[in-house]
């Protein structure tokens, strides 16, 4: 029996590991057949090159080649379709950061809703919807200004 849940959780954690390593090409590869979308499901970028470009242009890297962050993904609730070819996962994220100027602290938290598909026995991202809900000091993490959603 295949460990579908374990394979999907590995994708969640591989994303967190890649962004914390500053490996934006690895993030792009995770979304080679997928999209990063806003909370409403409107695709922001689709495919490996566009996803890599998004992270490269929006996420700060420090001299050690990383964003000096730790993305913690928790509470994955995975619903696998009856045919075992697609799945949806809702999870929570908290991002911690520490730099020379910024003491260790959480800088943003929220939830992901991810859609996956299984092709030739391998699970892959179809879409990631990000819903940030708690905001801290993002000035040392992002290269863009993020205004909290006030709804």
What is the per-residue pLDDT for 147? 77
Residues paired with 96 in a beta bridge: 70, 106
Q: How far is CA 54 from CA 47, 67, 102, 113, 140, in A?
A: 11, 14, 24, 19, 17
Q: What's the whole-number mean pLDDT along residues 67-86? A: 98
What is the per-residue pLDDT for 105? 98
On whether residue 21 sits in a domain, the answer given is yes
On whether residue 141 sits in a domain, the answer given is no
Q: How confident is the model at residue 113 (pLDDT cuts 50, 70, 90)?
A: very high
Kindly report, residue by residue over 27-49, the tens digit of the pLDDT.
Answer: 999 999 999 999 999 999 999 99
What is the per-residue pLDDT for 151? 58
On whether residue 145 sits in a domain, the answer given is no
Rounded Cα gap, residues 99 and 93, in angstroms: 20
On whether residue 87 sits in a domain, the answer given is yes
Q: Which domain holds residue 40?
A: 4-135
**Tokens representing 147?**
């205004």
What CATH number is associated with residue 83? 3.10.450.50
Kindly report, residue by residue over 7-33, the tens digit of the pLDDT.
Answer: 999 999 999 999 999 999 999 999 999
What is the per-residue pLDDT for 150? 62
On whether residue 106 sits in a domain, the answer given is yes
> The whole model's pTM is what?
0.94
On whether residue 98 sits in a domain, the answer given is yes
What is the per-residue pLDDT for 132? 95
What is the per-residue pLDDT for 149? 67
């Amino acid at each position: 029996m295949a460990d579908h849940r374990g394979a999907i959780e590995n994708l969640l954690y591989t994303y967190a590991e890649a962004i914390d390593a500053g490996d934006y090409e690895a993030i792009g590869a995770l979304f080679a057949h997928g999209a990063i979308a806003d909370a409403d499901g409107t695709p922001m970028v689709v495919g490996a090159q566009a996803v890599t470009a998004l992270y490269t242009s929006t996420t700060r890297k420090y001299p050690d080649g990383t964003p000096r962050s730790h993305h913690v993904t928790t509470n994955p609730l995975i619903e696998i379709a009856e045919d075992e070819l697609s799945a949806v996962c809702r999870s929570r994220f908290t991002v911690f950061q520490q730099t020379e100027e910024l003491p260790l602290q959480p800088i943003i938290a929220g939830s992901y809703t991810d859609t996956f598909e299984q092709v030739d026995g391998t699970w892959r991202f179809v879409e990631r919807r990000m819903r940030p809900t708690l905001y801290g000091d993002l000035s040392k993490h992002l290269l863009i200004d993020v205004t909290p959603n006030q709804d």
